[in-house]
Amino acid sequence: MVEFGIAEGIKNGVDWESLGFEEVQIAGDGLAGLVAARETAPDIVLSDVRMPGMDGLDFLHAIKELFPRIKVILISGYDDFEYLQKAIRYGADAYELKPVKIQNLLRLVEELKGKIAAEKSVPGPEIAGKPPPPRFADSRVSRAAEYVHTHLSADLSIRALGKELRMSPNYFCSLFRQKSGLTFNRYVKQTRLEASVYLLEHTDQRISEIADNTGFKDSVYFTQVFKKTYNCSPSEYRKNSRAGKIPGG
C-alpha cells in the first residue's frame, strides 16, 4: 500500500526476520490491503497517503474499524499539520514523511512492536481467571464459542467464523442458534460485554483500552451499548463495583 518502488525497497532492504517479523507482503492499493489484512492479520501496516481507488485516510479509517489492534504507519509527502491531525483522529499510530528514511521507519516499527508486546502481555479475561467459554453438544459450536472467547478484538462476523469453521455463513448461523439458543451476533455481543465487565472490575485499563480489547468500535459506541445493557456507563460501573455497590441498581 506504499508506492511500489518504495514498498519493494522497504521489503527487500531490511532484514525483517531478524527484527521478529515472519512475513512481509505488498498490496497495490487500499482495497487490496484490506483483503490482505483479512487473510493474514498483520501486526503492522505501512500505508501511503496517495493510492488508487482508496486514499490513505479512507484506508486507515476502514482498517481501524475492522481491526482496531493493527498498527498503521502513514507515509506522506505532505508536511501538513491539518492533515496530520486528521490522520491521528482516524487512529494513525505513526506518521513518516517522504523521502522515507529507513532508520526513522525502523525506529517507529520498533516502538510499535513494543506497544504490541505490552498489549499482548495484559492478561485477558480468560488468562486472569475468568471461566472458560461454555461447551455445547455440537463440537463445532463449542469451537466457535472458544474462538469468540479468545479473539474478542478480531472480526467476529458470521462470515468470518463460517470461514474459520469451513461452513457456509447461513449454515453456521442456523447451527449456532439451534445448539446454543442464541443468535451468533447476540452471543458475541454478550461475551464482549461480560469480558468488559470483568476488565472493569479487575484491571485499571482505560475505558478506551477496554473497548478496543473487547472488540467494540470505539469508546463512545462501547459506552452506548454498555449503558443500554447495565443502566450505567462503564466508568460508573467501575466506581460502583469498587465501592461495593450494585452497578446500575
pLDDT per residue over 199-247, tens digit each? 888 888 889 989 988 998 788 999 999 999 999 999 999 988 877 665 4
Same structural domain, 91 and 145: no
Lowest mean per-residue pLDDT among 50-54, 167-171, 231-235: 50-54
What's the CATH number where 200 sits?
Answer: 1.10.10.60
Per-residue confidence (pLDDT) for residue 129, from 0 to 100? 47
Structural domain count, the chain? 2
Per-residue confidence (pLDDT) for residue 119, from 0 to 100? 63
Specify the DSSP class assigned to residue 45.
Answer: E
Range of the domain at 152: 139-242
In a domain, 128, yes or no: no
Per-residue confidence (pLDDT) for residue 223, from 0 to 100? 93
Same structural domain, 166 and 226: yes
Same structural domain, 98 and 190: no
What's the CATH number where 45 sits?
Answer: 3.40.50.2300
Same structural domain, 21 and 98: yes
Same structural domain, 111 and 203: no
Same structural domain, 63 and 147: no
Same structural domain, 30 and 71: yes
Per-residue confidence (pLDDT) for residue 128, from 0 to 100? 45
In a domain, 87, yes or no: yes
State the average pLDDT over residues 23-52.
83
What pLDDT digit, counting tens, does each position of 75-121 carry? 887 666 677 777 777 788 888 888 888 888 999 999 888 887 766 55
In a domain, 68, yes or no: yes
Helix residue spans in the chain (DSSP H): 4-12, 30-40, 56-66, 81-89, 102-121, 139-150, 158-164, 169-180, 184-202, 207-213, 219-230, 234-242
% pLDDT > 90, the chain: 21
Same structural domain, 16 and 113: yes
| Residue bearing the bigger pLDDT, 111 or 248 | 111
Q: What angle do CA 195, 187, 220 make, to 5 degrees?
A: 55
In a domain, 227, yes or no: yes
In a domain, 248, yes or no: no
- Banded model confidence at residue 130, pLDDT cuts 50, 70, 90: low
In a domain, 131, yes or no: no
